[in-house]
Amino acid sequence: MYEKILVPVDDIESAGLALTNAKDLAKATGASLVLLHVVTPDHPLVISDDHIAGVHAAAAVVEQAQQDESVHLANQQAKLQISV
């Protein structure tokens, strides 16, 4: 019936019921779950004409955004292991 089930989650704690229902449906149909979690980084990267002049500063912003994303991803994966 279903091959993949996309489950958008905004926060792992508030997504509990959706995850539970999706897991039950996946088990019943043999489907796999695909979780979609979109986040806004703590230091969003915004490039404008003003920022183009400061390429070195922009590189630092990109590096910080990548670090923030890695930390956030690790935290969310840990939470998912607990709730799945």
| pLDDT tens figures, 27-83 | 999 999 988 877 666 655 555 555 555 555 667 777 887 888 888 788 877 777 755
pLDDT score for 26: 92
- Asked if 34 and 47 sit in the same domain, the reply is no
The dihedral of CA 18, 83, 72, 31: what is its sign?
negative
Q: Which two tokens stand for residue 17?
A: 């019921």
- Asked if 50 and 33 sit in the same domain, the reply is no
- Can you give the residue range of the structural domain that contains 62? 43-84
pLDDT score for 49: 56
- Asked if 55 and 72 sit in the same domain, the reply is yes
Q: Is 71 left (phi over 0), alpha (psi -120 to 50) or beta?
A: alpha
- Asked if 51 and 32 sit in the same domain, the reply is no
Q: Tell me which H or E stretch contains 84.
A: none
- Asked if 33 and 68 sit in the same domain, the reply is no
- Asked if 28 and 49 sit in the same domain, the reply is no
* Extended strands (E) in the chain: 4-8, 32-36
Domain count within the chain: 2
